[in-house]
């Protein structure tokens, strides 16, 4: 007998999981399907384990900045111990996810979901039907289409390394490559980043990106810009990476050239759901081309950053939309951050929007290194950049510092609430802290 549900969620990552709970709380009979690890990419092999490893780097670099100011030597990272620390979290994720769903009486199915038609799917030889569907299958690392691509490894492989290779090459210069390169370099690897042009981290302000690149060069990371990687050759046991007038031999080559939406295997054509190489197409209610089939998270095509907090925001909204919410989704300001010992953070209009109408904007960059908040931690590279429109309204903020993630979150609230200098001064913040500097920014 075919099992029928009010709603079926495909994908158990942060978006799908959160939406499934919300749908169940509405009184809907709900099922969730997962083809891989329960909990999805972020907690298993994405941002969460990456941040666990980064915590070791942050501790090491914090002491390194104080060498000569109370400390004599930089501590060594023991990769195997740091990886064990990571596993203390990631190893529990799948079972904890399943336990939570079972406790909420949300039916679970393991396997690849595939649409038969607009109302039926098959998973593990079992046919299910539902009034509504939510697709939240996320993304996976893209594979660079070059000769020897089968020798490329991914961020997933890096985050599960039992032992760190002596020499690692990252192809691509987005935030994933930067963050993993920082981790590998701090843990003792010789690290190289290869990029096809001279504009890494294109979503971030070029001035502060250049400062970050210089900081990482001083830390020992090697950058190779304007290099088109042509091929990877297995040399046993290492690999040769080649480009035009370029050659590099390494123990591991990681492709970090973007991510692709997980739509293969869903047979979306059978359900009449439109998609392209960027993801599933949705309207401003996160509906696909079928009114009863919704999608959210990294699998959809959108201009907003494909980040876990954005997926969670969409999950909260889409559960309401599936229950009859008539208001279109309204995204707030979204902070984006490159993590490391020096963090690069931004909010506001995208770099592309700013570049397309550069004549309408002006900017001001402030060196924060002498401010007490930063001087006390010897953060010599700390800077913040405000971009203003013709009416002197803040349209974008970029920050480079050890505390950039905290600073950008405080400024996010200030901008969302449209707080004035006088309003900020009505608050007494703990001192010294990033919050205590807010009145000097606005």
Give the CATH number for residue 380: 3.30.390.30
Q: CA-to-CA distance for 239 and 41, rounded, in angstroms?
A: 28
**pLDDT tens for each residue of 196-236:** 999 999 999 999 999 999 999 999 999 999 999 999 999 98
In terms of domains, do 229 and 302 share one? Answer: no
Spatial distance between the Cα atoms of 395 and 392, rounded to a whole number of angstroms: 9
324 close to 336: Cβ distance less than 8 angstroms: no
Token pair, residue 363, equals 């900017």
Is residue 284 helix, strand or coil? coil
Question: Per the annotation, does 353 bind a ligand?
Answer: no
What does DSSP assign to residue 76? P
Answer yes or no: do 318 and 385 share one domain: no
Question: Is 51 labelled as part of a ligand binding site?
Answer: yes
Q: Which residues lie across from 338 on neighbouring strands?
A: 344
Query: 176 among the known binding-site residues?
Result: yes
Q: Which two tokens stand for residue 333?
A: 């300001």
With 80 as the cut, is the pLDDT of residue 1 above it? no
Helix (H, G, I), strand (E, B) or coil at 29: coil
Residues 390 and 307 in one domain: no
Q: Is the dihedral of CA 377, 58, 442, 430 positive or negative?
A: negative
In degrees, to the nearest 5, what angle opens at C-alpha 263 toward C-alphas 40 and 97? 15
pLDDT for 133: 98
Is residue 435 a known part of a binding site?
no
Instruction: Report the domain count for the chain.
Output: 3
Q: What is the Cα–Cα distance from 291 to 439, expressed in whole angstroms?
A: 47
Please report, for residues 91, 329, 394, 413, 415, the alpha-carbon distance to residue 418 in angstroms, rounded to integers and kept in the order given: 42, 21, 10, 8, 5
Q: At 8, give phi and psi (nearest 5°).
A: -125, 130
Region 407-416: mean pLDDT is 96
- Does 131 share its domain with 13? yes
What are the beta bridge partners of residue 295?
Answer: 135
Average pLDDT, the chain: 96
Kindly state whether residues 177 and 312 are assigned to the same domain: no
Query: Which pLDDT value is given to residue 339?
Result: 96
Q: Which two tokens stand for residue 139?
A: 């993304």
Element at 95 (helix H, strand E): helix 93-103
Convert the pLDDT of each residue in 28-53 to its tens digit.
999 999 999 999 999 999 999 999 99
Greatest Cα-to-Cα distance within the chain, rounded to the nearest angstrom = 73
As beta bridge partners, residue 129 has 4, 120
pLDDT of residue 2: 85
In sequence order, what are the residues at sequence separation of 6 or more whose Cβ sits closer than 8 angstroms to the Cβ of residue 186? 56, 57, 60, 61, 77, 219, 341
Task: State which of 242, 257, 272 marks the end of a domain.
Answer: 257
Is 118 annotated as ligand-binding? no
Domain annotation covers residue 347? yes
- For residue 327, being part of any structural domain is answered with no
Annotated binding-site residue? 136: no
Helix 14-25 and helix 308-321, axial crossing angle in degrees, nearest 10: 30
Judge if 71 and 204 occupy the same domain: no
165 and 312 within one domain: no
Same structural domain for residues 404 and 284? no
- Mean pLDDT to the nearest integer, 312-338: 95
Asked if residue 330 is part of any domain, the answer here is no
Three-class secondary structure of residue 123 per DSSP: strand
Structure confidence at residue 326 (pLDDT): 85
80 in a known ligand binding site: no
Residue 20 placed within a domain: yes
Residues 6+ apart with CB under 8 A from 148: 231, 232, 233, 234, 239
Span 132-190, pLDDT tens digits:
999 999 999 999 999 999 999 999 999 999 999 999 999 999 999 999 999 999 999 99
* DSSP secondary structure code for residue 287 in this structure: B
The residue out of 222, 240, 257 marking a domain boundary is: 257
Distance of alpha carbon 49 from alpha carbon 398, whole angstroms: 26
Residue 34 shares a structural domain with residue 102: yes
Predicted local confidence at residue 325, as pLDDT? 81
Domain boundary among 229, 257, 285: 257
Q: Is 258 annotated as a binding residue?
A: yes
Report the percent of the chain where pLDDT is more than 70.
100
CB 234 within 8 A of CB 151: yes
298 annotated as a binding-site residue:
yes
CATH number at residue 244: 3.50.50.60
- Cα–Cα nearest to 322, from 11, 17, 12, 22: 22
Which range marks the domain in which residue 50 is found? Answer: 3-139+260-322
Q: Which of 327, 325, 261, 265 is nearest to 296 (CA)?
A: 261
* pLDDT confidence tier of residue 429, bands split at 50, 70 and 90: very high
Residue 144 lies in a domain: no
Q: d(Cα 293, Cα 271) in Å, to the nearest integer? A: 9
Do 311 and 361 share a structural domain? no
List, in order, residues 6 or more apart from 381 with CB less than 8 Å away.
211, 215, 342, 369, 400, 401
9 has a pLDDT exceeding 90: yes
Are both 237 and 180 inside the same structural domain? yes
- Beta pairing class for 246-250 and 120-123: unpaired
Instruction: Let me know if residue 328 belongs to a domain.
Output: no
Going by their DSSP bridges, the two strands 343-348 and 336-338 should be labelled as antiparallel
User: Does 113 reside within a domain?
Assistant: yes
The residue-averaged pLDDT of 321-327 equals: 92
Instruction: Specify whether 135 is located in the same domain as 166.
Output: no
């Amino acid at each position: 007998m075919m099992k029928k549900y009010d709603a079926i969620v495909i994908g158990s990552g942060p978006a799908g999981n959160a939406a499934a709970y919300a749908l169940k709380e509405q009184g809907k009979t709900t099922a969730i399907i997962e083809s891989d690890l329960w909990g999805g990419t972020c907690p298993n092999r994405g941002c969460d384990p990456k941040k666990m490893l980064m915590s070791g780097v942050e501790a090491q670099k914090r002491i390194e900045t104080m060498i000569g100011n109370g400390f004599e030597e930089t501590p060594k990272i023991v990769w195997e111990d740091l990886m064990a620390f990571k596993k203390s979290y990631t190893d529990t994720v799948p079972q904890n996810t399943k336990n939570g769903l079972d406790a909420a009486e949300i039916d679970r199915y393991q396997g690849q979901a595939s649409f038969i038609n607009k109302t039926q799917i098959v998973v593990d030889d079992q046919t299910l039907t539902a009034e509504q569907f939510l697709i939240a299958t996320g993304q996976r690392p893209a594979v660079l289409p070059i000769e020897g691509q089968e020798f490329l490894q991914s961020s997933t492989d890096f985050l599960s390394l039992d032992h760190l290779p002596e020499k690692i090459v990252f192809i691509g210069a987005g935030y994933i490559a930067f963050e993993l390169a920082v981790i590998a370099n701090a843990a003792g690897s010789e690290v190289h980043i290869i990029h096809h042009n001279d504009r890494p981290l294109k979503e971030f302000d070029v001035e502060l990106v250049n400062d970050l690149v210089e900081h990482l060069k001083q830390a020992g990371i090697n950058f190779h810009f304007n290099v088109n990687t042509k091929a990877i050759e297995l040399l046993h046991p290492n690999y040769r990476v080649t480009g035009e007038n370029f050659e590099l031999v390494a123990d591991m080559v990681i492709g970090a050239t973007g991510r692709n939406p997980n739509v293969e295997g869903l047979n979306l054509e059978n359900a009449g759901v439109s998609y392209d190489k960027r993801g599933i197409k949705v309207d401003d209610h996160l509906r696909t081309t079928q009114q009863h089939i919704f999608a959210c998270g990294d699998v959809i095509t959108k201009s907003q950053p494909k980040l876990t907090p954005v997926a969670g925001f969409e999950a909260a909204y889409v559960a309401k939309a599936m229950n009859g919410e008539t208001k279109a989704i309204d995204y707030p300001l979204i902070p984006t951050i490159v993590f490391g010992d020096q963090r690069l953070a931004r909010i506001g209009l995208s770099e592309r929007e700013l570049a397309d109408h550069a004549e309408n904007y002006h900017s001001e960059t402030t060196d924060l290194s002498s401010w007490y908040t930063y001087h006390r931690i010897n953060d010599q590279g700390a800077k913040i950049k405000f971009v203003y429109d013709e009416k002197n309204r803040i349209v974008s903020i970029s920050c480079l510092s050890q505390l950039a993630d905290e600073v950008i979150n405080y400024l996010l609230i200030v901008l969302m609430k449209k707080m004035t200098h006088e309003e900020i001064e009505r608050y007494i913040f703990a001192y010294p802290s990033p919050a205590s500097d807010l009145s000097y920014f606005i």
